[in-house]
Amino acid sequence: MSPYDALAVVPVIAHAVAPGDSAETYPGLSSLLDRVRSTMRADTATVLVLDRTRTLLEPAATVGLDRTLRRARRVPLGEGFAGRVAQTRQPVSLTHVDRSTVLNPVLLDHGVRSLLGVPVMDGSELLGVLHVGFLQRHDATDAETRALTEFAAELGAVLHDRFVDAAHTAALTLQRSLLPTAVSAPSGISIAARYVPADGELGGDWYDVFTLPDGRLGVVMGDVVGHGLDAAIVMGRLRSALRAYALDHDDPAEVLSRLDRKICHFEAGALATVSFGVSAAPFTTWRFSSAGHYPPLVGTPGEPATVADVPSDRLLGVSPDAARRSTVLTVPPGGSLCLYTDGLVERRPAADALFTDAVADNTARLATALMDAGDPEMACIRALSDVVGDHIAEDDIAVLVAHVDAV
């Protein structure tokens, strides 16, 4: 999903803009269209944006057509005047406006007789179409076409900034709604978790903690491959689906198998790693299954944590028939369990260091930070402080620490 697909979540402008009105959703857009109309000496100026399917142009804003944009129809690429502009990505001038050349009834009802349209681009990516209309027959000149193309470039920069901001805000809002900072846990175990968004584009990291009807506790750590709003949306869907499968299946491997079939069928092209474990009180015996994810760390009182012997099966989204295993691991009374995503330990190493060595070193730092993790909150803080420190988070980071009560 490109940043411009944020339109599917955050509408651009849902109403028409009459002369003098302001487009409150994106301040400055209506004034830009007013300048376009005035400079071009046109009667109307309209912008349409490409929808998330990249097959339809959605009317976004207009000046000069009164408050009639609600009646404007979406235009398929290649059809009608605006569709031709979008498909060819070239300026199109039209001096004969009727139902055979224009799909939008608003233009016809308003008496527009001539149109000039140009594509709105961001680099090589099509964002939409900008066009002006005239109530009298008007043969567009080369100078007018160049002028409208320059306005389209200015509009493209405005839309780029607004769409990127909208996508980032939508992704962060979605992640925060699904990743509560306070994690509840049953008696006998205490749990804390932290999520640190990347300094740049957000990813699809998530954690989850839930109690099943039979009293067992489920813990999840996952990471959707990719960044931005698309990864966040897939993350939300996988989180909900995993919970649903866990209600009907006791074996974590079976839960991940069904989740794999779900992502392969409904989220074509998406990939994700997941570590899922379940346990019943007193929470010293766990069953874990891993789909391409880092194994948990298990802490023993007075000792650095060690990497659990949980084999990693194929990540989700590659093959719905991949074989999956569940492994039993033991957490001693008074011990700890830590799940994390790759952003915690995978960071660009120094010029003279190997990537694998850097991961091993960061994992060792994490293991030491988990010593005597009686307070999971402090353990999360130490993990982030000792492993990440002042480094910029180039990828999302999620970490979850569970402490099993001593007997």
Query: Strand pairing of 312-313 and 285-291?
Result: parallel
CATH 3.60.40.10 positions along the chain are 179-404
Ranges of residues in the chain whose predicted pLDDT is under 70: 1-28, 52, 66-72, 161-182, 199-203, 228-229, 347-353, 390-394
Angle (CA) 180-183-185 rounded to 5° is 155
CATH assignment, 179-404: 3.60.40.10
3-state secondary structure of 170: helix
CA dihedral of 353, 310, 336, 302, whole degrees rounded to 10? -60
CATH 3.30.450.40 positions along the chain are 3-171
* pLDDT on residue 170: 58
For residue 314, give the DSSP letter: P
* pLDDT on residue 21: 34
* pLDDT on residue 195: 82
CATH assignment, 3-171: 3.30.450.40
Residue 320 region by backbone torsions, left for phi larger than 0, else alpha for psi between -120 and 50, else beta: alpha
* pLDDT on residue 217: 97
* pLDDT on residue 232: 78
106-123 pLDDT, tens per residue?
Answer: 888 888 999 999 999 888
* pLDDT on residue 3: 37
* pLDDT on residue 134: 95
